Amino acid sequence: MGGGHYSLDIAYENRSGARAAFAQPATETTRMAVHPALNPLGKVREVNNETPIVVALDVTRSRGDDTKLMYDKLPQLMGQLELKGYVKNPGICFAAIGDVDADRAPLQVGQFEADNRLDEVLERFWIEEGGGGTGQESYELAAYFFARTNCVRLAAGTGKKGYFFFVGDEGFYPTVEAARVRKVIGDELTEDLDSAQVFARLQEKFHVFFIFPRKTLAERKSNIDAEIKDRVTRAGGMYDGVDIRASLLWDNRNDLDLHVIAPSTEHIYYGHKVSGCGGWLDVDMNVQGDTVKPVENVRWPKGRAPAGRYKVFVQNFRFHEPSQAPTRFKVELEVAGEIRHVDGIISPNGQTRDASDVVVAEFDYSPDLAAEAERREAIYAAYSDETVLGQWAKVIPRDHILRVGDPKAIIEVLAGALGIANGATDLDGVLADLRERGEPAERVSEIEAALSGLARVRDVAAASVSGEVPSGATGGPKRSVRL
């Protein structure tokens, strides 16, 4: 692990033309499961390089593009580290963070690498773009993985800490629950752990930073699912002001249909669009295969949804695409102000009509739940800068919270933080390097602001690892596995 050299020629060739990662919709990043090489269950990660570096990227809805940005600018980062000597012999491990309760991929972890296998790790990440919608994601689970396991083998005799960068815009869950750890990582904890304790353990191995790409509260709220909202409203459907809403989205010309069975047993679908109980299929698309960006929408306005059991399913009425390949779809459900998403695949074997039905949800609704919508507004307060950064400041040094306005500056901020924290340069040196490379003045000023706090702390590189990091788990350390 960690051997080899990162070739810029190979990197740029991999990013050229039709071979470029993320250029096609049917890449590995749209997979419906974690790549086996990135599954942390029962695994550890080791590094034999002098400088271990972890970059843990939030891949939920609000930050899904950061992985693509990191991939695009990775050659620049690696070239900068080598050319300027910001760190010696780095071994980089990329991790992807989701939500342990809401997502199917709450944690993905690559190997520590120093060569072009780093590109492969980013290409394999499943950018699920989910999230729990609570202002918190599972950063603490990633912290546990790297703090508890002996995933970092320090270079003999150095005792130097590594560097750990979280990149995200939300807070973390206050508790590392034993059941979650067992499910995702495979450790058998004897009890739940306080997340603050886990972050303290992580800092025994790494200098920990949080890169925070700023967004307004309104922007974060809109990330619930901007694409579905756009399609529904453009098609004339009702998105806001509802008790219950089901919105179906897919990306080809096939005629998928959204069906809802109401508590009255009325069946709302293309053949019965308006029900006596207030439900309405107000958008029905692709009867003739008119668009590759279709949507369907069933909703009950506020105060109209009856109490009882609802069932939602998707049907492929007919193929318009000549290949008759399976179709990926997404359903967004809003029930009393709470939104969740269901991804699925329909017609894996060419089924149509009743034979193709895929049930996506069954749920109970009561008008009393409408009061919960007001509670949801309070939840949005968890997305505020003050709340998010206040939580992080309790577990890592405040100077290690690096605020970035433009996400495109993340890589430059990360590289600069490495150089300053490692004592290889200072803020003036970082800024001079950026100007020499031709970065615009506005970008340089933004990076200066992000790194100004860190520049006042020059004793970071002198710290070293001492003692053993407790595991909190039963049993001995696990054996490293090279996937």
Using a 10 angstrom Cβ sphere, with 0-12 exposed, 13-18 middle and 19 or more buried, the burial of residue 289 is: middle
59 near 96, Cβ under 8 Å?
A: yes
CATH number for the domain running over 225-365: 2.60.60
pLDDT at 464: 47
Distance of CA 370 to the CA centre of its chain: 29
> What per-residue confidence (pLDDT) applies to 402?
94
Instruction: Over range 282-288, report the average pLDDT.
Output: 94
pLDDT band at 477; cut points 50, 70, 90: very low
Could you state, in order of their start, the residue ranges of all structural domains in the chain?
8-214+383-462, 225-365
CA distances from residue 355 to 46, 76, 104, 296, 330 in whole angstroms, order as listed: 48, 51, 26, 20, 19
Name the token pair of 111: 């190997």
Q: Are 367 and 307 in contact (CB under 8 A)?
A: yes
Please state, in angstroms and rounded to a whole number, the distance separating the CA atoms of residues 334 and 453. 42
Give which of 267, 228, 252 is closest to 318, Cα–Cα.
252
Q: Which of 122, 100, 119 is nearest to 109 (CA)?
A: 122
pTM of the model: 0.65
Q: Among residues 257, 254, 250, which one has the least CA distance to residue 231?
A: 250
- Average pLDDT in the 446-457 region? 84
Strands (DSSP E) found in 219-302: 242-250, 255-261, 267-268, 280-283, 295-301
Q: State the Cα–Cα distance between residues 81 and 87, nearest whole angstrom.
A: 6
Structure tokens at 78: 């690696």
Mean pLDDT, residues 428-448: 92
- In the chain, count H helices and then E strands: 13, 19
What pLDDT, on a 0 to 100 scale, did the predictor assign at position 478? 34
Residues 156-210: pLDDT tens digits? 445 578 999 999 988 899 999 999 999 999 999 999 999 999 999 999 999 999 9
pLDDT of residue 483: 20
pLDDT value at residue 375? 56
Per residue in 371-405, pLDDT (tens digit) is 655 555 555 555 677 888 899 999 999 999 999 98
Mean pLDDT of all residues in 359-365: 94
Among residues 24, 22, 19, which one has the least CA distance to residue 251?
24
What sign has the CA pseudo-torsion 444, 445, 449, 454? Answer: positive
When pLDDT is averaged across residues 467-474 and rounded to a whole number, the result is 40
Which residue has 């069975």 as its token pair? 261
**What confidence tier does 406 reach under pLDDT thresholds 50, 70, 90?**
confident
Query: What percent of the chain shows pLDDT beyond 90?
Result: 50
pLDDT at position 473 over 80: no
Please give the structure tokens belonging to residue 356: 């193709």
Classify each residue of 174-196 as buried b or exposed e, where b means 16 or more C-beta atoms within 10 Å of its C-beta.
Answer: eebbbebbeebbebebeeebebe
* Edge-to-edge strands, sheet with 280-283: 280-283, 295-301, 242-250, 327-335, 338-346
User: Helical H runs in 236-364?
Assistant: none
Using CA atoms, how far apart are residues 142 and 358, in angstroms rounded to an integer?
33
For the domain covering 8-214+383-462, report its CATH number.
3.40.50.410
Top-confidence residue, 153 or 105: 105
